[in-house]
Amino acid sequence: MKPSGIRKFFDIAGKMKDVISLGVGEPDFSTPWPIRKAAIETLERRQIVYGPNRGLDRLRGCIADYLQRKQGLSYSADKEIVVTVGGSEAIDIALRSLVDPGDEVLVVEPCFVCYSPLVELIGGVAVPVPTKIENNFKLTVSDLEGKITDRTKLLILPFPNNPTGAIMTREDLEPIAQFLRGTDIMVLSDEIYSELTYGKKHCSITQLDGMQERTILVNGFSKAYAMTGWRLGYVAAPAPIVSQIVKIHQYAIMCSPFVSQNAAIEALTSCDNEVKKMTSEYDKRRRYLVSEFNRLGLTCFNPEGAFYVFPCIKSTGLTSEQFCERLLYERKVAAVPGSAFGLSGEGYIRISYAYSLKHLKEAIARIELFLQDLEKEKENG
């Protein structure tokens, strides 16, 4: 198993001075005050104890209310929701609840780095399903055709997408749902960036007819609420699947942090406006970076979700790894090679805009100098 391509460059940058890091998808905003206040009050009440395996009753109720309010989905707080230690644990135990050794899991790429390694850890077979820039990095039925076998157990849908910023609208999802209805394939829908969309409201595949009963929905608090270090996520799924997920969670983790759970209740019940403010700021950064990369000649897909841009660096003649290594060592800007997110990411780099506009402008200035250096190299043969 290869180490994370994201962490590789993050660790190198951490040992260098004066590096502008654009590598990690971690919001630069402070966790909204009402959330922090709820955590402080929990500490002052000395409620630093183990909680129920499934998560606090009130939090699961708030999650159910949130899914109903935001997406019109009906989930039983008692039987169909589990609170986890971040979205990462949610993905892990969802996979372990379904995938047997030899089962095949369709992994839509480019995608976050954890899916294929987690599938392989449990003896499953990760089957890459590349998406294409000409389709705006959206999954299509033609992408799936030819990938399905009698061993296919699960499709992982990572939208809004990390690293591309692509989203799937209802119109995009309907053909996928129609295709899956004729199979026994389950879906794991990773919706950690569902609140971070620009101009179009997020649509979950669970909203389509017949899909909720075959989908494990994963979400969390890290990205939308700037709560990465609070380590809190959740699974919403049919009761028979949740009953298995709970057992794995029970023995591997036991419960999520009590303080974080109380804080998350506040996030879901009173922080919609804070999320909107952060999303508005991300949108400004998004538009700035897309414009600047296109100006520099690195054609940049216009993302509609998450907080990443995915510019194409093929014109430089360097691989994604070479580009990022040289950019880091020569101009002290840390980015992530697109190849870290699957073979279809080769020729691209991922830039996170979960950083201030001032930070991004300095990075762009350095990237421009780096590109000028590369151009001089070409001229000099």
Task: Give residue-wise pLDDT tens across range 222-248.
Answer: 999 999 999 999 999 999 999 999 999
Distance CA 92, CA 118 (A): 6
Segments of the chain scoring below 50 in pLDDT: none
* pLDDT computed for residue 341 by the predictor: 96
CA torsion through residues 353, 357, 362, 368, sign: positive
* CATH number of this structure's domain 47-270: 3.40.640.10
Where does the chain have alpha helices with state H? 5-14, 33-44, 57-71, 86-98, 115-121, 141-144, 170-181, 239-252, 258-270, 272-295, 320-331, 357-379
**b/e 193-204 (16+ beta carbons within 10 angstroms → b):** bbbbbbeeebbb
Q: 305 has which bridge partners?
A: 197
Q: Yes or no: say if 301 and 164 are a contact pair by the CB < 8 Å rule.
A: yes
Residue extents of the structural domains in the chain? 5-25+273-370, 47-270
Does residue 160 have a cis peptide bond before it, meaning omega lies within 30 degrees of 0? yes
Task: Please name the CATH architecture into which domain 5-25+273-370 falls.
Answer: Alpha-Beta Complex (3.90)
pLDDT at 344: 95
3-state DSSP assignment of residue 114: coil
Parallel/antiparallel/unpaired status of strands 152-157 and 104-109: parallel
* pLDDT confidence of residue 47: 82
Does residue 347 contact residue 310 with C-beta atoms inside 8 Å?
no
